[in-house]
Amino acid sequence: MKKRIAILGSTGSIGTQALAVIQQQCERFEVTVLTAHSNADLLIRQALQYRPKAVVIGDEKEYRQVKEALSAYSIDVTTGATAVEQIVELDVIDTVLTAIVGSAGLAPTVRAIRAKKNIALANKETLVVAGALITQLVKEHNVALYPIDSEHSAIFQCLVGENPTTVEKILLTGSGGPFRGKTQSELATVTPQQALKHPTWEMGRKITIDSASLMNKGLEVIEARWLFEVDFNRIEVVIHPQSIIHSMVQFTDGSIKAQMGLPDMKLPIQYALTYPERLHTSFPRLTFDQYNQLTFEKPDTQTFRNLALAYHAGEKGGNCPCILNAANEIAVSAFLDNRIGFLQMSDLIEKCINTIAFNRNPSMEDLLATDLETRQFAIHYLKHFNTTSL
């Protein structure tokens, strides 16, 4: 029996790479559901190639085009945000691969877990916003949650065959992004175009900005805390500009295991879909004569304040990581639109954390309310920034 996969966010960077993996392993996998937000043209091409049972186009303006293009095929076409949530419950799905960007991925992931689907998780914001509730739901419904994020896949691979109680520390690596080594005054004037040039990974726009500001590493620290049930004081970020070691685990006997490879998301995507098996791939291999120098540094959290803010939010817990995430989504979008400068992203996030009411034990409904309230406040507060120098 082929494993039947739903890809939420199939038109994005992770979504398209997931389809490439599935195409190479087509005797094992079948795509049964695809969803996109507004990229109707690509969704139609993907549907014609992979012939899923159903597709969802989030943006209602694009519905007619997708419906007409697929009318000759037995592919169900629906639209709207709630359609993305409903589609994950279909019987024809075994695993839901969540590659939507931002907290929009949360509601469909919750529905998928409740419908007893296994989750291959790229959408890290889901665990940042609602890590406690998601991990509890995963246990209650007895489903598997496999990480796609390269660092978390690396940690997951290092932990295979190990006793979780022997983990001393997680060493989460990160490239440091395009602005590693820059000072605050240099960062004040960097442009979105400069921030979008990542030195080692090609990704969607939001995560590329998060990587430049080190917020991505901060979100990943919170993601790791929930995936591996390790306290924040045992998760250490290590800057490793070559992106060859994807992360490490230190054990109680002092031994450190690392997972290495060339930076290519197709490997962690495939591992999340095939675990516990490893399948042969023809991906280029790492050779040590090409990478004969691997270097490591401490992160500069004075300059890149987002990483410090994320640790703070994670340690505080409750709805604080949800506030951090929602504020960051608004900050990134405002930076990309040239409405605020690079450093002002941290100012906006800090302002939101200090303003929105803290809730120590939020329900899912409370978190959705915090997400909305933070976005509204952040959009309103953007007016206070002086952007004449941008």
Q: Per CB under 6 A, does 201 bind ligand NDP?
A: yes
Q: What's the rounded Cα separation, in Å, for the pair 145 and 387?
A: 42
| Residue of 15, 218, 241, 321 that binds ligand NDP (CB under 6 A) | 15
Q: Per CB under 6 A, does 131 bind ligand NDP?
A: no
Q: Which residues contact 8 (CB under 8 A, 6 or more apart)?
A: 15, 35, 84, 88, 96, 97, 98, 99, 100, 105, 108, 123
The least CB distance from residue 280 to ligand NDP, in Å, is 23
SS3 299: coil
Of 6-14, 156-164, 309-317, 323-331, the window that binds ligand NDP (rule: CB under 6 A) is 6-14
Helical segments of 250-363, H only: 266-274, 305-316, 320-336, 344-355
Which of Mg ion, ligand NDP, none interacts with 341 (beta carbon under 5 to 8 A by kind)? none
Quick count: other Cβ atoms within 10 Å of Cβ 216? 28
User: For ligand NDP, which is the closer residue by CB, 66 or 235?
Assistant: 66
Q: What's the rounded Cα separation, in Å, for the pair 238 and 240?
A: 6
Structure tokens at 285: 């291999």
Q: Per CB under 6 A, does 39 bind ligand NDP?
A: yes
Q: What's the rounded Cα separation, in Å, for the pair 274 and 183?
A: 43
Q: Per CB under 6 A, does 373 bind ligand NDP?
A: no
| Residue of 21, 55, 66, 99 that binds ligand NDP (CB under 6 A) | 99
Number of residues that bind Mg ion (CB under 5 A): 3
User: For ligand NDP, which is the closer residue by CB, 39 or 247?
Assistant: 39
| Residue of 4, 13, 63, 174 that binds ligand NDP (CB under 6 A) | 13
DSSP sequence for 226-277: HHHT--GGGEEEEE-TT--EEEEEEETTS-EEEEE--S-THHHHHHHHHTT-
Q: Among residue numbers 149 through 188, which ones bind Mg ion (CB under 5 A)?
A: 149-151
User: For ligand NDP, which is the closer residue by CB, 14 or 382?
Assistant: 14
Conformation bin of residue 75: beta by default, left when phi > 0, alpha when psi is -120 to 50:
beta
Whether the Cβ atoms of residue 29 and residue 118 lie closer than 8 Å to each other:
no
Of 154-162, 203-211, 314-322, 325-333, the window that binds ligand NDP (rule: CB under 6 A) is 203-211
Which residues sit at the interface with Mg ion, rule CB under 5 A?
A: 149-151
The binding site for ligand NDP (CB under 6 A) comprises 9-15, 36-39, 58, 84, 99-101, 104, 122-125, 149, 201, 203-204, 206-207, 265
